[in-house]
Chain A
Amino acid sequence: DTGVSQNPRHKITKRGQNVTFRCDPISEHNRLYWYRQTLGQGPEFLTYFQNEAQLEKSRLLSDRFSAERPKGSFSTLEIQRTEQGDSAMYLCASSPAYNEQFFGPGTRLTVL
C-alpha cells in the first residue's frame, strides 16, 4: 500500500497564472475527494469523484476551478487565473467505500 500521493508538494505562482495539481489515489479506491485547507481551519470540500464521474462540486467553488479523473484513476485539479485568496493546502483523499478517507500529503499553493 503506497498510500495517496500528490504532486507537486509545493507550488509558488504569480497571480493570474494557471496551476494544475495531480493526485494518485490508492489503486483500488473508486472514490476520490478534493479539499482545500487554510491555516487553522478544517478541510473544506471542493469536489467528489466516483470512478471517472464527478458527482458533486462545492457551490463555493468558482468556475476558475476544474477537476478531472479521466480513467477513474489519478485526478487533476486546475485553478485558472489564480488569486491570492487561492493560497492554501490542497488535499486529495481516496476511499474504498462510504467510510474512511485516506488523505494524501497535500499540495501547498502560494500565490504571490
Chain B
Amino acid sequence: GQQVMQIPQYQHVQEGEDFTTYCNSSTTLSNIQWYKQRPGGHPVFLIQLVKSGEVKKQKRLTFQFGEAKKNSSLHITATQTTDVGTYFCAGPSGTYKYIFGTGTRLKVLA
C-alpha cells in the first residue's frame, strides 16, 4: 500500500541553526499538507501545497513540493525554542483518506 516516509526521525539543533525535514511518498500526490504537533498537543495545520515544484514561505518556514509530486520538504531558518514539536506531512490516498508521514521530531537546544 501507499507509504509516506519522513527523514530524519529525530533532529536536535542548537537555537539559531537551520532545520530541514524531508517527506517521500511511494505514489504521486495530488497535494501535500504539513502539520505541527507540539508535545502533548494535537496536529495543527501549517500549509497545503498543490502544484508541482511549488514553494511557499511562512516567515521562517519554507515548504517545497517536488517536481514529480512525490516528495516535499520543510525548512526552518534560524530555529527558535517555539519550533519544538513533531512535523508531519500528509497526503491523500484515494478520494477521501489521508496518510500521515512518520514525522520528524525536532528539539531545539537553547
Q: Which residue of A lies closest to B92 (CB)?
A: A98
- Total number of A-B contacts with CB less than 8 angstroms? 52
Residues in A with CB closer than 8 Å to B99 are 45
A binding-site residues for B, Cβ under 8 Å: 33, 35, 40-45, 48, 50, 55-56, 58, 91, 93, 99-106
Q: How many of B's residues come within 8 Å of A, CB to CB? A: 21
CB neighbours (8 Å) of B66 from chain A are none
| Bound CA–CA A42/B48 (angstroms) | 17
**Known contacts A41-B102, A42-B103; is-contact A100 B97 (Cβ 8 Å):** no
Q: CA A91 – CA B90 in complex, angstroms? A: 15
| Contact of A103 with B42 in the complex, beta carbons under 8 Å | yes
| Max count, chain A CB within 10 A of own CB: residue among B33, B42, B103 | B42
Closest CB pairs A-B (n = 7): A42-B100, A100-B45, A103-B42, A56-B96, A48-B96, A43-B100, A103-B43
Cα–Cα, bound, A102→B42 (Å) = 9
Does B97 contact A41, Cβ atoms closer than 8 Å?
Answer: no
Complex contacts, B95 vs chain A, CB 8 Å? 55-56
Question: What are the residues of chain B within 8 A of A41 when measuring CB–CB?
Answer: 102-103
Q: Output the nearest chain B residue to A33 by Cβ-Cβ distance.
A: B98
B45 contacts A43, C-beta separation under 8 Å: no
Compute how far the CA of A106 lies from the CA of B103 in the bound complex, rounded to whole angstroms.
18
CA separation between A55 and B97, bound complex, in Å? 10
Q: Are A103 and B44 in contact (CB under 8 A)?
A: yes
**Complexed CA–CA distance, A43 and B97 (Å):** 12
CB distance from B58 to the nearest CB of A (A): 13
Pair A44/B100 contact, Cβ less than 8 Å: yes
- Least Cβ distance of B110 to chain A in Å? 24
Chain B: CB-nearest residue to A60: B1
